Amino acid sequence: MIVRISGEDQYRLDDSSCDRLNQLEDAVAKIVEAGQPDGFNEAYKQLLDYVRSAGRPVGEDELEPSDVILPPADITFAEAGREFTGEGLIPD
């Protein structure tokens, strides 16, 4: 799976990483859907940190379509309300 963090890089994650990635994204989505900004920044940071640590950066000379595009690290809670709703960002 190729995951892009907007404003940063693309990362290639192994299939074995997908379950944990989905868990982290679900945690962010639940916070947003509950309308509770407390905990959002930390939960979203954990999601991005996981992508950065579990993934391998896609080389600048490689052209790969992204399977998932995550909002930038500085997304606000209000902006996240438009992104993390319904089915979420990461396909099951």
Residue 36 phi, psi (nearest 5): -110, 100
2-5 and 68-70 strand pairing: parallel
Q: Which residue has the higher pLDDT, 84 or 47?
A: 47
Percent of the chain with pLDDT over 90: 75
Please give the pLDDT value at position 92. 53
- Beta-sheet strand order (sheet of 68-70): 56-57, 10-12, 2-5, 68-70
Question: Mean pLDDT over residues 77-86, rounded?
Answer: 81
Q: Hunting for tokens 């992204």 — which residue is that?
A: 66
Question: Mean pLDDT over residues 4-22, rounded?
Answer: 94
Q: Strand pairing partners for 57?
A: 11
What pTM was computed for the model? 0.89
Q: What is the pLDDT of residues 32-55, one digit of tens each?
A: 999 989 999 999 999 999 999 999
Tell me: pLDDT of 91 over 60.
no
